[in-house]
Amino acid sequence: MMSIVNQPVAVNLKQGSVTGLQSDGVACFFGLRYAQAPTGALRFAAPEPLGAQPPFDATQPGPVCPQRPSRLRNVMGDFEAVQDEDCLRLSIWTPGVDQHKRPVVVWLHGGAWQSGGGAVPWYDGTRLAARGDCVVVGVNYRLASLGWLFVPGQTANVGLLDEEAAVRWVFENIEHFGGDPARVTVMGHSAGGFNIAAMLARKPLFKRAILHSASLGRGFREAEQAAHLSRVFLQAAGAQTLEQARALPVAALLAAQQADAVMAALQEEGANRSLFCPVVDGEIFASPVAPLMQQAATRADVLLGYTRDEMAAFPGTQRNVASQQLGEKIFGAPSRQWAQDARAAGRDAWVFEFAFGPNPEFGACHCSDLPFVFGNLESFTGAAMLQGMTPEHGRSLVDRMQTAWIEFIHGRAPGWEPSPAVRVFE
């Protein structure tokens, strides 16, 4: 039987019709808006709901949020994508635009709240959707100052509000793409994983989550420190007020991230955090935040884990005992504690450790597990972290990890004992 290649497929949504492409058993829809473009007066503001939209061509990748190159590009490689502030988009991969009501997995990328995109080739959901008979959704959200600038008296954490808006869009629309809104898992890596934990501390719609290397040990930034960093940042960008910052070219905001005064202020903080991250602002997140996060662990069944050599991916960090201990403090121990708290509340919780590191310089570093979940090994060709891997071992690890993840996405056990047990993938 001949495969179908690039056949248009249309879906009628409340906001308007969208047209994607069906190829080899998976229909792909790229760049679907889930909120209004956050430009002009909406820059730095909470996402606004969409109204009626004209027919949309969803056959080409949509833009990612404007960003600087990732600091991990020398380890995991890089990607090319159009950048635009009109970035509140999501992409969908589905085995069928039908009434089968498949489980859904919503992907929130990492990148230190400063880089990445939901539908870049690394995270193409075609293989996961086809093998798992599930609907995969990749989400863009605002990054760096556009999503996480904190000015007292203004709405904070708008990047998180973007993600919540995207999840809400999925619940309202995914049935049109063959998905079941009653079976939604939200999966995220690093900053994306932390953001899932933060959403669970609020009023989440979902009750199932997968956390990859969520930086739970770094925690939130307090309001006073966030306000100080934002003041220094705005001055470096050439603005005194948020209104002035709304009028700046986005290039000025990106350049300010590297300003000497900004780097010095971040170094003075001494917290080993990203320049931008979630803030205890008093409204989206109240102080003290620790009890909220403990409660968050009780609200979802979870599959979560970390890599053995997390910190070896980061510039200026060697793979040694000290960096492993820091990775354990930021990623490992807090993940296991989250699982224990979930189990104590009657939730299902499974823990994994990713320990495959073919390149001895980096070992099983931050991000090294992601190629095997999505199965897109060719998109990581040349990635330093995978140098030395044989094709046979790569395929075997893809098979083992995807089998487990798909079981969880379908609402079943991934294939090992729940927490406190830890499944090691190597």
pLDDT attached to residue 1: 38
Residue with tokens 């001055």: 235
Check if 228 is active-site. no
Q: Is the pLDDT of residue 3 over 80?
A: no
> 4 falls in which pLDDT band (50, 70, 90)?
low
Return all residues near 422 (Cβ < 8 A) that are at least 6 apart: 305, 336, 351, 352, 353
Q: Is the pLDDT of residue 2 over 50?
A: no
- C-alpha 85/C-alpha 70 separation (Å) is 18
Largest CA distance in the chain: 64
Q: What is the mean pLDDT of the chain?
A: 95
* 369-413 per-position pLDDT tens digit: 999 999 999 999 999 999 999 999 999 999 999 999 999 999 999
Check if 366 is active-site. yes
Catalytic member of 310, 323, 335, 368: 310
Instruction: Choose among 40, 3, 30, 172: nearest CA to 92.
Output: 30
Q: What angle do CA 134, 135, 140 make, to 5 degrees?
A: 140
When pLDDT is averaged across residues 226-248 and rounded to a whole number, the result is: 96
Cross-strand pairs, 106: 137, 186
Catalytic member of 85, 366, 368, 419: 366
- C-alpha 50/C-alpha 126 separation (Å) is 27
Check if 213 is active-site. no
Residue 380: left (phi > 0), alpha (psi -120 to 50), or beta? alpha
Catalytic member of 70, 115, 145, 190: 190
Q: What percent of the chain has pLDDT over 70?
A: 99
pLDDT attached to residue 21: 96
Helical spans, DSSP H, in 138-285: 144-148, 158-173, 191-200, 223-237, 242-246, 250-256, 260-269
* 166-199 per-position pLDDT tens digit: 999 999 999 999 999 999 999 999 999 999 999 9
* 266-311 per-position pLDDT tens digit: 999 988 789 999 999 999 999 899 999 999 999 999 999 999 999 9
Residues 29-213+281-425, CATH architecture: 3-Layer(aba) Sandwich (3.40)
Domain boundaries, the chain: 29-213+281-425
* 12-63 per-position pLDDT tens digit: 999 999 999 998 899 999 999 999 999 999 999 999 999 999 999 999 999 9
* 132-148 per-position pLDDT tens digit: 999 999 999 999 999 99
